[in-house]
Structure 1
Amino acid sequence: MRIFTYAHLKKVKLPLTLKGITMLHTTIIKIRKQANKVLNIPMPTLIEGEGKVTTTTTVLKQLGGSKPLIVTDGMLVKLGIAKHLTDALDAEGMPYVLFDRVTPDPTIPLINEGILVYKNSGCDSIIALGGGSPMDCAKTIGASVVKNKAPQKLAGTMRVRKELPPLIAIPTTAGTGSEATVVAVVTDPVARKKLTIVDPKLVPNVAIIDPALMLGLPAKITAETGIDALTHAVESYIGKHATELTREYGLEAVKRIFKYLPKAYADGSDIEARREMSVASYKAGVAFTRASIGYVHAIAHQLGGFYHIPHGLANAVILPHVLEFSFDEVFEQYAELAIAAGLATESDTKRDAATKFVNGVKALNKLLNIQTNFPELKEDDVVVLADRAVKEAFGAYPVPKQMNQKQCEEIMRSIMG
């Protein structure tokens, strides 16, 4: 599938005025919305509940797997969280290979290591255990194995188109929703940028959501991943590809996040809060993988690729700024989100309710001790980062309001340390 991108503008024989670019973007988004209607995006089989990690062996056998590669990170091994999974496999006598070298923003060289381990160890399936980084790494390993291509060759849309090895996703954070998405994001350390692989084949076969695995999550990670889930819910809700299903899931996610994220942050052992946040993250993942994302992610991806700023944190800092930027175009949707979040009532005017939502997001960030700027961000880098962000979003993200480079630069300068 060939997707029109910002780079193609050079071949378009139209005046490249802001109005012309906006019209072209709008046309592309409309075409992609129609294409989405016929695109079959599967739902993973969902297994949810405390202690459900013990079902992994049975589930994997049902999928035809007999020797999985467990893709996770060293910290989860050190904290004993990975042991819940390996104990379950050991109890059933299932052999496995542990690849625990995943780092935040997994790089192409790291993924290549995982590919070699998978092939050399005779693995036939994959279990992703962790947050977004292990899941992105696991998806890309699986895609590279079945396509026999380097990860960077798969960047783009619909370049996999083959069934991955049996893949089970077990999230240990409530944020990315990667257990339900068509996306894997990897980092090119040489170019200092992120590459996105998008294909329905990347959706895991099964998602096992066990809130007990999240009980040891530090408060800071709880906060950042929670706002990541909120960003997914909001951007999918206000975008031009939103559907009845994605709006329903988005509203449910927002409602849960505003109610339970402060509780999970204040008391990491609150199993109810962990469970509700894990469901919210999943629902937000289902929503944005069908309705896409927006400028919050476009900017966050640049900060992550350039400075290795954690994705959830980048989203959290940027979100209020993009909400303000898009306010006039989507204040009615903001009002609906405000009511779902318990920040406003039906008696409020739509603009008042919308304002309460934006202020509520800022207040939630403050309650969670989310920083407001990035000392890493340098003036010398602003122009190139803004250029990359605008190009990433063009024709790909169904944003409610088009942003030009100058406006993007202004947002970036507002979050400089």
Structure 2
Amino acid sequence: MLHQCLVSVKKPFIKMVPVPQPTCISGRGKVNDIAKICKQLGVSKPCIVTDHVLMKLGLLDSLLQTLDDANIGYSIFDDITPDPDYEMVRRGVEHYQNHASDSVIAFGGGSPMDCAKAMAASVKTNKDVAKLPGLLKVHRRLMPIIAIPTTAGTGSECTVAAVVSDVDARKKRSITDPFLVPKVAILDPELMLGLPAQVTAETGADALTHAIESYLSGYANTQTRQWSVSAIKRIFSELPTAYEDGNNTHAREQMALASFEAGLAFTRTYIGYVHAIAHQLGAFYHVPHGRANAIVLPLVLEGIQQRDNARLTQLAVELGYKDSVHGSASSQFTDAVNALLERIAIPKVVKELQVEDIPHIAQQAIKEAFGEYPVPEVMSRLECQQLLEKLVELGVE
């Protein structure tokens, strides 16, 4: 009951805060529009935030050449590694200021996106990044942020959050503010061609988790549910193809659009227990976020389905499932999720998970979700521990 009261207090507050939507530019070769976009935004000295691997692979070559041809000066901060922490953001802020930058181009997966947005917030507020986690602590317009994802999963190109690791506390902290939403998102499937199958699978499962948890959220509305359903349909249809044929441009573009739609949805509805647990696995063991979500998702869905949850049934029906001799609509949907994850070779085990850590991980996950995430069903700490123990049991079998 207390959980419901807290959610009911926060829901109207969330509704009062408008969330902007970035301009979305989608299609093959659209990364080459970067100079035109910079000029439209009045940008002359962008700071490009990316990582060494993408630089080495040459994925930025076309973008950099386009900027060079347009005589737009830029600097490159490519020190990003998975799970950016406070210190990484601080180095990025120093780089931005030393180069007198006037904007940010976030190029890459979720880590460059998160770091870029946290850098922008720190620069504009003139506050150390460690003081920014929480709700509405940015509270001012940022410099233009142009987001160019190279994976289809995080949805960071259109969300209000930047997740940064607090190494000392072994926690992931979220800076949440509508001003963090990028001005423009460029979805270019050519940047995703040849992405490793495992990365394709894990990031795709991340987008699927966003879409499902958004639909099941107590904050969902007609628009967010439409985005969620559209994203899930695209993922069910195109993720196996993108996984099996990494050079299929159509599948890549459809997955990019699915990730964008899921991002639009969950940034307005919040998330749920899948993310709450996955965040702890990332903070404790550096398990990639998409993989952690994918492993936990079926177990959380199973718990929701067993309680005959009305929202899950509604989602299943909207996706075309019906009660039949094969089971209820919700059970058929849950089975379909499991089948998809098996097809893209998502593991059922968190190999890094240590039995002695389970009580603390469960405690932190429940603490993160309690009163914050408008979950469809309430999970106790004991239930969370039992869920995590299943992962260990699966590993032993």
TM-score range, shorter chain: over 0.9
What letter is aligned with 2:146?
Answer: I
Query: Aligned partners of 2:335 and 2:213: how far apart in 1?
Result: 17
Question: Is this contact kept in 2: 1:233–1:284, CA < 8 A?
Answer: yes
Q: Which residue of structure 1 lines up, in the alignment, with residue 387 of structure 2?
A: 411
Instruction: Tell me the residue number matched to 1:100.
Output: 78
So what's the TM-score if we normalise by structure 1?
A: 0.92
Whether 2:87 is the aligned partner of 1:109: answer yes
Counterpart residue number, 2:67: 89
Contact 1:60 1:166 in 2 (8 A): no
**2:362 is equivalent to residue 352 of structure 1:** no
In structure 2, the residue matched to 1:31 is 9
Partner Cα distance (2:316, 2:367) in 1: 31
Aligned residue number for residue 280 of structure 1 = 258
Tell me if the contact between 1:155 and 1:198 (Cα under 8 Å) persists in the aligned partners.
yes
- Which of 273, 278, 296 is the equivalent residue of 1:295? 273
| CA deviation profile, 1:127-184 (whole Å, cap 9, x unmatched) | 0001111000000000000011111100000000111111000011110011110011
**Aligned equivalents of 1:410 and 1:329: distance in 2?**
16
Q: Distance in 2 between matches of 1:297 and 1:87?
A: 38
Q: Distance in 2 between matches of 1:364 and 1:381?
A: 30
State the alpha-carbon separation in 2 of the partners of residues 203 and 138 from structure 1: 11
Decide whether the 8 Å contact of 2:218 with 2:374 is kept in 1.
yes
| C-alpha deviation, 1:333, in angstroms | 3.4
Counterpart residue number, 1:244 = 222
Flag the 1:340–1:175 CA change in 2: closer, same or farther, 3 A.
farther
What corresponds to 2:39 in structure 1? Answer: 61
Which residue pairs with 1:20 in the alignment?
none
Partner residue of 1:305 out of 255, 259, 283: 283
Distance 2:238 2:63 in 1: 26
Judged with a 3 Å threshold, the aligned counterparts in structure 2 of structure 1 residues 391 and 349 are, in CA distance, closer, same or farther, namely: farther
Q: C-alpha offsets along residues 330-380 of structure 1, whole Å, 9 cap, x if unaligned?
A: 6443344445556x3x46489611111111111111111111111211011
Contact 2:311–2:376 (8 Å) recurs in 1: no
Q: Are 2:46 and 2:105, in contact at CA under 8 Å, matched by a contact in 1?
A: yes
State how 1:39-54 maps to structure 2 within 5 Å: 39-54=17-32
Aligned residue in 2 for 1:10: none
Q: How many residues align?
A: 393
**Is the aligned partner of 1:196 residue 2:174?**
yes
Alignment partners' CA distance in 1, 2:181 and 2:94:
22
Write the deviation string for residues 167-206 of structure 1: whole angstroms up to 9, x where unpaired: 0000111100111100110001111110011100000011
**Equivalent residue in structure 1 for 2:130, among 124, 142, 152:** 152
Task: Write the deviation string for residues 219-253 of structure 1: whole angstroms up to 9, x where unpaired.
Answer: 10000000000000000001111100110000000
The residue number in structure 2 matching 1:169 is 147
Query: Comparing 82-91 with 103-112, which one deviates more in the overlay?
Result: 82-91
Partner secondary structure for residue 186 of structure 2: strand
Q: Contact 1:57 / 1:89 at 8 angstroms: preserved in 2? A: yes
Pick from 364, 367, 386 the counterpart of residue 388 of structure 1. Answer: 364
Matches within 5 A, 1:328-343: 328-329=306-307, 331-339=309-317, 341=319
- Structure 2 residue aligned with 1:11: none
1:401 to 371, 377, 380: 377
Q: Could you say which residue in structure 1 is the equivalent of 2:353?
A: 377
Q: Quote the residue 1:212 is aligned against.
A: 190
Q: 1:270 aligns with which of 237, 248, 251?
A: 248
**Residue 415 of structure 1: SS of its match in structure 2?**
helix
TM-score of the superposition, structure 2-length normalised?
Answer: 0.96
What are the Cα deviations for residues 243-287 of structure 1, in whole angstroms up to 9, with x where unaligned? 001100000000000000000000011001001110000000000
Pairing 1:222–2:200 present:
yes
Partner SS for 2:79: coil
| 1:359-370 pair list within 5 angstroms | 359-370=335-346
- Cα distance in 2 for residues equivalent to 1:277 and 1:339: 23
- CA deviation vs aligned residue, 1:53-110 (integer Å, no higher than 9, x gap): 1111111222121111100111111111121221221121111111111111111111
- Counterpart CA distance in 1 for 2:308 and 2:15 is 23
Task: Give the Cα separation in 1 of the matches to 2:73 and 2:384.
Answer: 50
3-state DSSP of counterpart to 1:256: helix
The 1:375–1:328 alpha-carbon spacing in structure 2 relative to 1, beyond 3 Å, is: closer
Separation of aligned partners in 2, 1:161 and 1:356: 44
Instruction: Give secondary structure in 1 for the equivalent of 2:60.
Output: helix
1:379-404: CA deviation from partner (whole Å, max 9, x where unpaired):
11111111110000011100011111
Alpha-carbon RMSD: 1.5
Gaps of 5+ in 2: none
What secondary structure sits across from 1:81 in the alignment?
coil
Shift of 1:214: 0.6
